[in-house]
Amino acid sequence: MFAHGAGAGMTHPFMEAFATGLAQRGVATLRYQFPYMEKRTARPDAPALCHATVRAAVAAAAKRAPELKLIAGGKSFGGRMTSQAQALEPLRGVRGLAFLGFPLHGAGKPSAARAAHLAHVDIPMLFLQGERDKLAEAALLNPVIADLGARATLQWAPAADHSFHVLKRSGRTDEQTLALMLDAFAAWVGRLDLTSPASAPFPTR
């Protein structure tokens, strides 16, 4: 279940490129939108509504593909709403959370307060982060990851910003960065113990 960021919907080129790349690596995605994006309004919905939307997406994915193991997450805001939902009440059937640019703090407002709820997430988490991400300073994010212990995996994208764009002078390209993030995601999925039961599985019928 792949949620979008705060300012762009599920058809944004990055969302499409990442979903396509995952498909090429054997990972299916279900992209979805929060109500405010459907209404084309700029202000994101209240967290409670976003959490309900995440749960609805999880239920829809389980219904459409009951044979698949579920991973939830998203880009920036979408990933944070997913982790908040999981922290409040485990998402049924979800085996892990994946974040593409976890927004640890606002630009120019360094703080780790947004990560406090992650202590209540008891399933594996993957953090894909740009080294130049102004919404997640390394000096703040690294201790968060360390505190989460074995539950958390962090992959830095060299020279990349919050949108995973890189400067030309870095000698890297956006395409190389995308491939690095996709390969890291696929490798993480491969290491997950998908044979163990999720914390709150859907009942079988």
Q: Residue 146 corresponds to which amino acid?
A: A
- pTM of the predicted protein model: 0.92
**24-70 tens-digit pLDDT:** 999 999 999 999 999 999 899 999 999 999 999 999 999 999 999 99
Residue 72 in this model has a pLDDT that exceeds 80 = yes
Contact 36, 4 (CB under 8 A): no
Q: What is the pLDDT of residue 139?
A: 96
Which has the closest alpha carbon to 199: 101, 72, 76? 72
Residue 153's DSSP bridge partners are: 126
Q: Of all helices (H) and strands (E), which one includes residue 20?
A: helix 13-24
Q: What is the pLDDT of residue 87?
A: 98
Q: What is the CATH number of domain 2-191?
A: 3.40.50.1820
Residue 203 in this model has a pLDDT that exceeds 50 = no
